[in-house]
Amino acid sequence: MINWLSQVASVTFFNLRTIPQRKGAAITAAVGIAGVVAVFVGVFSIAEGFRAAMTVAGPDDVAIVLRSGSDSEMTSGLSREEVRLIADAPGLARAPEGPLASAELFVIINLPKRSTGTDANVPLRGVEKAAAAVRGDIRIVEGRMFEPGRNEVIVGTGAVRACSGLDPGQAIRVGQTEWKVVGIFSGGSGAAESEIWTDAAVLQPAFHRGDSFQSVYARLTSPQAFQEFKDALTTNPRLKVKVLRQAEYLAEQSSMLTGFIKGFGVIIASLMALGALFGALNTMYSAVAARTHEIATLRALGFGASPIILSVMVESLALALVGGAVGAATAYTAFDGFQAATINWQTFSQVAFAFTVTPRLLTYAVTWAAAIGLLGGLFPALRAARLPVAAALRDS
């Protein structure tokens, strides 16, 4: 066993030491694998960032109530009487000012993007006084909260970054109505930062919604109170509603886009990985061909086939890990925290988010690089081990 390990170490050290003599081919293989990793991390960081923007942080004690059969707020509708019944349900948290429930409207308006000037679909949400308390993490970072009953809006930080004309003091016009921007807010579990908020009572007549709403956001007494709250509403014969946890609803809203991005990323990264694999195979076959005499000599001196195989695969793995590390570092530097915006296909509204490169994503990418390296070294290693000793010494 000790002799076998010594053989593996000796041959491996010899192979690694000769890499500078083949630096052109080695760099080509490493760069190819680095490109695969960079693309893999870059594409998947989009999906991770969008998913993070649509994820609830902290205790999931907020529920959303929609019309039964609706798949989003856009297709939902609730009357004032239904809103009143929802606000009276057990399990709902209450403050001295009243129940922590906000009946809301959700409409889409067009605003110019800062980067291109083209129109973007931006959510304009009408909320009630309790909206900020319901979500719990809404903070005014500049300006002030809008005053109920007035044509004033507050704008999420993501919407401000993505669209022009949303700085405090400016005004936005939609149809015949003009709203003054009085503040900028952050929070709302990420997704709300892409929205513009105003008083629901002002938004209703502006969009001819009468006394109707589309959803009710409700803060519960605890996450465990969700089932009691849901059962009370879904068994009430006067209501036809569906009740979801906010986290569940946001996950549903992001599932189509994140699924598409990940599927697209796998296809692109797989095609690039195939090219990198052929590059690794070519590099290692060239390395074996250049060292035919050395390998035959080692076999003639008594070195076994398995040390030869392992040494070639370790060399290929080392090149792959170097390329993977370079690709991962490049992708992290280039993509992590990069601000962007995209369309949520379920609501056709713009969502601002930041690319997110997570440790798990980097681990997956480097693991993929290692797999390419091992597979790229396997067949050349087998060829090296099967070289006829006498023929190889005679040909050299």
The residue among 311 and 324 whose pLDDT is bigger is 324
Q: How far apart are CA 116 and CA 342, in angstroms?
A: 14
Q: How far apart are CA 42 and CA 331, in angstroms?
A: 6
Q: Look at residue 303 in the predicted model and tell me its pLDDT.
A: 63
Q: Per mean pLDDT, which of 43-52, 198-207, 255-264, 332-341 is the most reliable? A: 198-207
Q: Look at residue 28 in the predicted model and tell me its pLDDT.
A: 75
The stretch 124-139 carries a mean pLDDT of 91
Q: Look at residue 143 in the predicted model and tell me its pLDDT.
A: 93
The stretch 139-164 carries a mean pLDDT of 91
- pLDDT for 260 beyond 70: yes
Question: Which residues does 390 contact at the CB level (< 8 Å), separation at least 6?
Answer: none
The residue among 395 and 296 whose pLDDT is bigger is 296
What helix, strand, coil percent values describe the chain, rounded to 5? 55, 20, 25
Q: Look at residue 253 in the predicted model and tell me its pLDDT.
A: 74
Q: Predicted confidence band at 391 (pLDDT cuts at 50, 70, 90)?
A: low
Amino acid at 115: S
77: in domain? yes
Same domain for 50 and 81, yes or no, is no
Q: Predicted confidence band at 287 (pLDDT cuts at 50, 70, 90)?
A: low
Note the Cα 23 to chain centre separation in Å.
37
Task: Mean pLDDT check: name the lowest of 86-100, 110-124, 130-144, 223-237.
Answer: 110-124
Task: Mean pLDDT check: name the lowest of 165-174, 234-243, 320-329, 380-389.
Answer: 380-389
Angle (CA) 354-359-363 rounded to 5° is 125
Structural domain boundaries, residue 78: 69-239
209: in domain? yes
The residue among 58 and 252 whose pLDDT is bigger is 252
Q: List, as one string, the DSSP characters of 363-383.
A: HHHHHHHHHHHHHHHHHHHHH
Q: Predicted confidence band at 387 (pLDDT cuts at 50, 70, 90)?
A: low
Note the Cα 72 to chain centre separation in Å.
21
Which run of H or of E encompasses 125?
A: strand 119-127
CA dihedral 17, 23, 27, 29 (to 10 degrees): -80
Q: Look at residue 392 in the predicted model and tell me its pLDDT.
A: 47
Same domain for 276 and 314, yes or no, is yes
- pLDDT for 77 beyond 80: yes
The stretch 228-240 carries a mean pLDDT of 94
Domain count, the chain: 2
Q: Cβ distance 120 to 112 under 8 Å?
A: yes
Question: Tens digits of per-residue pLDDT, 86-100?
Answer: 999 999 999 988 899
Q: How far apart are CA 239 and CA 259, in angstroms?
A: 33
Q: Look at residue 194 in the predicted model and tell me its pLDDT.
A: 86
Instruction: Using the 3D structure, point to which of 183, 204, 239 is the last residue of a domain.
Output: 239
The stretch 193-216 carries a mean pLDDT of 92
374: in domain? yes
Long-range contacts of the stretch 255-261 (C-beta < 8 A, 24+): 256/345, 256/346, 257/47, 257/50, 257/342, 257/343, 257/344, 257/345, 257/346, 258/47, 258/50, 258/51, 260/345, 261/43, 261/44, 261/46, 261/47, 261/50
Instruction: Using the 3D structure, point to which of 239, 270, 287 is the last residue of a domain.
Output: 239
244: in domain? no
Phi-psi region of 145 (alpha: psi -120 to 50; beta: other; left: phi over 0): beta
Task: Mean pLDDT check: name the lowest of 60-64, 93-97, 225-229, 283-287.
Answer: 283-287
Share of the chain above pLDDT 90, in %: 33
CA dihedral 286, 29, 382, 299 (to 10 degrees): 50
248: in domain? no
- pLDDT for 18 beyond 70: no
Same domain for 259 and 379, yes or no, is yes
Q: How far apart are CA 258 and CA 277, in angstroms?
A: 27
Amino acid at 75: T
Same domain for 299 and 154, yes or no, is no
Residue 145 has what DSSP assignment? Answer: P
270: in domain? yes
Same domain for 34 and 154, yes or no, is no
Q: How far apart are CA 246 and CA 243, in angstroms?
A: 9
- pLDDT for 382 beyond 50: yes
Signed CA dihedral, 200, 202, 203, 205: sign only: positive
The stretch 72-99 carries a mean pLDDT of 92
Same domain for 267 and 321, yes or no, is yes
Same domain for 301 and 389, yes or no, is yes
- pLDDT for 311 beyond 60: yes
Both tokens assigned to 372:
């390419």
Same domain for 75 and 44, yes or no, is no
247: in domain? no
Question: Tens digits of per-residue pLDDT, 173-193?
Answer: 887 788 999 999 988 556 788
Instruction: Report the mean per-residue pLDDT for the chain.
Output: 81
23: in domain? yes
User: Cα dist. 23→29, 31, 68, 287, 319 in Å?
Assistant: 10, 12, 65, 11, 11
Same domain for 294 and 336, yes or no, is yes
β-pair partners for 242: 66
Instruction: Using the 3D structure, point to which of 177, 204, 239 is the last residue of a domain.
Output: 239
Same domain for 264 and 341, yes or no, is yes
Same domain for 142 and 274, yes or no, is no
Q: Cβ distance 80 to 211 under 8 Å?
A: yes
The stretch 79-84 carries a mean pLDDT of 94
Same domain for 295 and 377, yes or no, is yes
- pLDDT for 390 beyond 60: no
The stretch 319-333 carries a mean pLDDT of 89
